[in-house]
Amino acid sequence: MRIADSATMRLLDERCQTDYGIPGILLMEGAARALLKHLNLEKTYFVVVCGPGNNGGDGLALARLLKALGKEVDVFSLRPPLSYPREAGVYGEILVKAGISHQVLSPEESLWSFSEALKDADVLVDALWGTGLTRPLPDFVQKIIRLMNDFSPKIIAVDVPSGLQADTGKPLPEAVHAAKTVTFECLKTGFFQEEAQRYLGQVVVEPIGIPASLKEEVLPPYWVTEPEDLQRIIPLRDRSGYKNCYGHCLVVAGSPGYTGAALLCAEAAVAAGSGLVTLCAHEEALDLLVPRLTEVMSLYPENLEQGTKKADVIALGPGLGNSPATFNLLLQVLKTLLEEGKTGTTLVLDADGLNVLQGRTDLLKDIICPVIITPHPGEMARLTGKTRAEIHDDRVGIARAFAREHGVIVVLKGHRTVITDGIRVQINPTGSSAMAQGGMGDALTGIIASFAGQGISPWDAAVAGVYLHGHIGDLLAKERYSVKPSEIIAALPKVMGQVVRRGDPVENSLGNMIR
């Protein structure tokens, strides 16, 4: 599923008309027909609230279709129907000639009849403003939105809930609380901001007639991960395969007091299918862990060079401690990779493997192998020198810039995890607050590392690892209040088996992406 900002959507609309000769009125009709699919047509009374522009035009076109189906329709708009420009004006004229009930809302007039219509309506369609909104709405329009929000469960938003800025996901300052948002052609970038969730309701994407070839040319390489991606990435195992076919994963993790991080990371790598897993930890921690890791080999730090030489992938950081000793372990790994020319080994850095790079991120530019970093917002703030608030407000932009500058893949964890290599962007739709427990990130690091060690490309390893981790969390959360990292790990082999056999009920999380 593709993602676009408002400027890109405007360009698509313009070029659809100039390059392909598709008149705007066909796109407006396409939008109305797309909306109609999501209205409960067993209902009889529909109220359509129209703004002054193209979003309002979509609402007028929808009103025509509803009237043709014999439904009772009342249209409330911010301008007289015969004053609409261009394509919307055509539907305004149809509205008048078809005798569809219509009232202009203005600051000078009472909103009493509008309020009464809202109470009686079976379905309320929000067609006030779409992706073009960039500045705060007038006080009068904010008042209209507040009245509409008293009936939030019956609101269907056209493209974007009115008042919600499509690029930032912020209300300006009031926004419609929709039960469902029917958005056109692409998901909008602002939909993935945490603040936007309370306004969007269920989100569905509908085509309105823009040619696929034009979208391929114009749209940026931004996607939402879908179940089909997981099924494409995770391969069926060769019946003659053996342990050396599935990668040797070296986990450098764990210190006194933080043995759980190492345990979870290593066990996740085993569960995700690594042929061999070796744990290198501080001596005290390793002695405590060895009896609990029957499927994992062990390695003391003094032998890290040999372990690095043998590894297909290295996960470094969970529970190591933000200390000079951890930085030295990282330097030793980088030195060995360079000396051995191990350009095909993937390095996954998490937790303290990232914390020790604060003020030293230039080191990332000189690493000869693919690097995946998996920061949470606090770690990303330390790496970039920005505040957590700045990270929160521009997750995609900051992650992209860092990835591009340092030549790494960034997995910026959080609500709708962002994956980017500086050019491509993948937004993950799975996972929920039921997974908000310590150790989740350690398990994720082990899963991503395991996939990369099995010959899956670093990009695909990150995309599949993040999706699967969250997907299992979603499945488990249906039956419990909270989900432990160890439960994710325990469920991993079974769910992966279902995926590769194509028998998995891998849900498309887009439908309930935003609740």
What phi, psi does 405 have (nearest 5°)? -70, -35
> Would you say 131 is a known binding-site residue?
yes
> Would you say 303 is a known binding-site residue?
no
* Residues 264/442, Cβ–Cβ less than 8 Å: yes
pLDDT of residue 194: 86
> Would you say 159 is a known binding-site residue?
yes
pLDDT of residue 298: 97
> Would you say 183 is a known binding-site residue?
no
> Would you say 511 is a known binding-site residue?
no
* Pairwise CA distance, residues 91 & 82, whole Å: 9
> Would you say 58 is a known binding-site residue?
yes
| pTM greater than 0.95 | no
If you classify domain 3-219 with CATH, what class do you get?
A: alpha beta
> Would you say 406 is a known binding-site residue?
no
Over the Cα atoms of the chain, what is R_g? 26
> Would you say 30 is a known binding-site residue?
no
> Would you say 55 is a known binding-site residue?
yes
Task: Count CB-CB contacts under 10 A for residue 170.
Answer: 16
How far apart, in Å, do the first and last CA atoms of the chain sit?
Answer: 18
> Would you say 54 is a known binding-site residue?
yes
> Would you say 163 is a known binding-site residue?
no
The CA angle 169-466-425, to the nearest 5 degrees, is 50
pLDDT of residue 132: 86
pLDDT of residue 510: 44
* Residues 76/43, Cβ–Cβ less than 8 Å: no
Residue whose entry in the numeric block shows the structure tokens 């007039």: 109
Per-residue pLDDT of the chain (515 residues; tens, 9 = 90+): 999 999 999 999 999 999 999 999 999 999 999 999 999 999 999 999 999 999 999 999 999 999 999 999 999 999 999 999 999 999 999 999 999 999 999 998 889 999 999 999 999 999 999 998 888 999 999 999 999 999 999 999 999 999 999 999 999 999 999 999 999 999 999 999 888 999 999 999 999 999 999 999 999 999 999 999 999 999 888 899 999 999 999 999 999 999 999 999 999 999 999 999 999 999 999 999 999 999 999 999 999 999 999 999 999 999 999 999 999 999 999 999 999 999 999 999 999 999 999 999 999 999 999 999 999 999 999 999 999 999 998 999 999 999 999 999 999 999 999 999 999 999 999 999 999 999 999 999 999 999 999 999 999 999 999 999 999 999 999 999 999 999 999 999 999 999 888 654 555 544 444 43
Please choose, from the candidates 81, 77, 76, 101, the residue with its C-alpha nearest in 3D space to the C-alpha of residue 91.
Answer: 81
* Pairwise CA distance, residues 216 & 211, whole Å: 9
What phi, psi does 168 have (nearest 5°)? -105, -20
> Would you say 82 is a known binding-site residue?
no
pLDDT digits (tens, 9 = 90+) for 469-501: 999 999 999 999 999 999 999 999 999 999 888
> Would you say 366 is a known binding-site residue?
no
> Would you say 308 is a known binding-site residue?
no
pLDDT of residue 108: 87
* Residues 158/183, Cβ–Cβ less than 8 Å: no
Residue whose entry in the numeric block shows the structure tokens 């991960």: 225
* Pairwise CA distance, residues 142 & 199, whole Å: 14
Q: Tell how far CA 146 is from the center of its chain.
A: 29
**Beta strands at 3-4 and 45-50: parallel, antiparallel or unpaired:** unpaired
Residue whose entry in the numeric block shows the structure tokens 């703030």: 381
pLDDT of residue 501: 80
> Would you say 350 is a known binding-site residue?
no
> Would you say 56 is a known binding-site residue?
yes
> Would you say 244 is a known binding-site residue?
no
> Would you say 134 is a known binding-site residue?
yes
The residue ranges of every structural domain in the chain are: 3-219, 241-348+367-500
> Would you say 86 is a known binding-site residue?
no
DSSP secondary structure code for residue 164 in this structure: B
The CA angle 137-141-144, to the nearest 5 degrees, is 140
> Would you say 126 is a known binding-site residue?
yes
pLDDT digits (tens, 9 = 90+) for 308-325: 999 999 999 999 999 999
**Beta strands at 180-184 and 202-206: parallel, antiparallel or unpaired:** parallel
Residue 231: CB partners within 8 Å, gap ≥ 6? 499, 500, 502, 504, 506
> Would you say 307 is a known binding-site residue?
no
pLDDT of residue 506: 54
Sign of CA dihedral 225, 227, 230, 233: negative
The second-level CATH assignment, the architecture, of 241-348+367-500 is: 3-Layer(aba) Sandwich (3.40)
For the chain, the maximum distance between any two Cα atoms, rounded to a whole number of angstroms, is 85
DSSP secondary structure code for residue 138 in this structure: P
